[in-house]
Structure 1
């Protein structure tokens, strides 16, 4: 019986192997048919070389950066305002209003200063232009009687304007004028003013001056420009 059982088992194993062989063979065949995806290869000989650098190509433009901003402080100009002056009633006393005349500026109701420029003699005097206005000539113009007579004349004729006295206005008026070839006063103007009334009074007296002795250049009378400062001072 043991030998019979062994024979039966052997027969069954052989039969099972025969029956399962087609399935095993098919499975092995399917595994062989499956292929892995192709691998991408790179051949260095097929790569393109980069273009050569152009040495003659101009460099890129230089970008100018703005200079660094420095710290600044805004300047605000001072605001000038006119200070109102109280209109006080001043006594109508002539001794307080007189205009004094002096060769120098001094305290007082008024003073006249005559500035004499440094005298320079022109080298070329052969051809003198009679229409030219000179600043300095060989012989300067002169008021009749000299500077002393001029100061006396201005002092006797200039009056301190009442409006300027009431407002307490003091200062200097610069009057420019021309003494022509005939010694007459012309082209009177204000170089630096003080007030309308003070300017007009100074111009009025300058225009009313008598004829001067004309200035001379190269032996001929010429036009000469003069400047007279008139100082108004309150005591």
Structure 2
């Protein structure tokens, strides 16, 4: 059994402060060494920053915008010429010597047909209007997929995209413990509906990349406008990680 002799409360109170300071210093040095080793490994294995091509085009060099409304030719109306009068005559009493063998007596059916050939009011006598109705043909409906611009491709717009909902990224725990701050530049592709279709990191500390990407995928945008129509464009913005 250990014998502490005259050691008691007073002696322990006198020396515990010294051991507490030594323990705190050793723990701080251990954490600092671990953080230094991790940051050195991240720095040694980091990928070189990608330089994206940027092509500048003046708005005056762009061609005229396409027409917003396509005109369709109206169906042509063909007007037939005046119908020839029938050789059928109306019976009249004449002398037998003047009877022509070429004249025939119209039947009831032929007289009704002759009446229908006579032009109505406002059209002209003997005129028949024939309107050709367009023949409806079944055509295969082809739905074109939205063409998305390549990364770095310049798209002229009249109105830039606007963030409608942009959640705050989660601060990485290892960076919080090490007291590291930084800024990450994020490039996203916003389609015609305002949905994020692609996310790229251009530069910034690698330990913040995943947090910045997760926040970018959850964001919602108002799409860019060109010629009163939404267009898909790339948007670049910074995400700052700071400790308060």
Name the TM tier (shorter chain).
Answer: 0.3 to 0.5
State TM-score, norm by structure 2.
0.39
Q: Look at both structures and tell me which one has the larger radius of gyration over its CA atoms.
A: 1
State TM-score, norm by structure 1.
0.40
More RCO (CA 8 Å, sep 6+) = 1
